Amino acid sequence: MFARKVAARLKPNSLREFTSLIEGEILPWLQKQKGFLDLITLAAPDGSEVATVSFWDHKENGEAYNSSGYPAVLTTLGKLLDGTPYVKTFYVVGSTLQRVAPSQPTKADDLVPETHAAQPGYSSYETRPCDL
């Protein structure tokens, strides 16, 4: 399983509209995408920051969404965002939500650069779990 975490700052008083767009437009569209499994949406207590974690059956399907669908999502949410979202990807190596076999990244997957800009003070990069 593969996960994409997107974190962003919201413009003041935008959380309600952000949540409405996620639930009413973006999630129904995501559910039709190949390999999409689940979406978790998180918000800071003051509503100034949000994060979404989407789960995909395979890295390739998550990356296909990143190239083809994510730009449209940014356009839909753009008026609510205060800056460029921070994107990071992960292999799911354990979960209590559903029983999955841990992903086994290949050597070629080590430190693959992301394609989207990060918020100031953050780096956009992908890391792979190490063998413990």
Q: Where are the beta strands (DSSP E) in the chain?
A: 2-9, 36-43, 49-56, 86-91
| Per-residue pLDDT band at 19 (split at 50, 70, 90) | very high
pLDDT at residue 83, as a whole number: 92
Angstrom distance (rounded) from CA 98 to CA 39:
13
Letter for the amino acid at 95? Answer: S
Residue 105 three-state SS = coil
Angstrom distance (rounded) from CA 21 to CA 11:
15
List the domains of the chain with CATH numbers.
2-94 (3.30.70.100)
Lowest mean pLDDT among 27-31, 53-57, 112-116, 120-124: 120-124
The percent of residues above 70 in pLDDT, for the chain, comes to 73
Token output for 23: 């639930």
42 HSE (CA, 13 A, CB side): 9
Compute the average pLDDT of residues 110-132. 41
Cβ neighbours of residue 84 closer than 8 Å, sequence gap 6 or more: 8, 116, 117, 118, 119
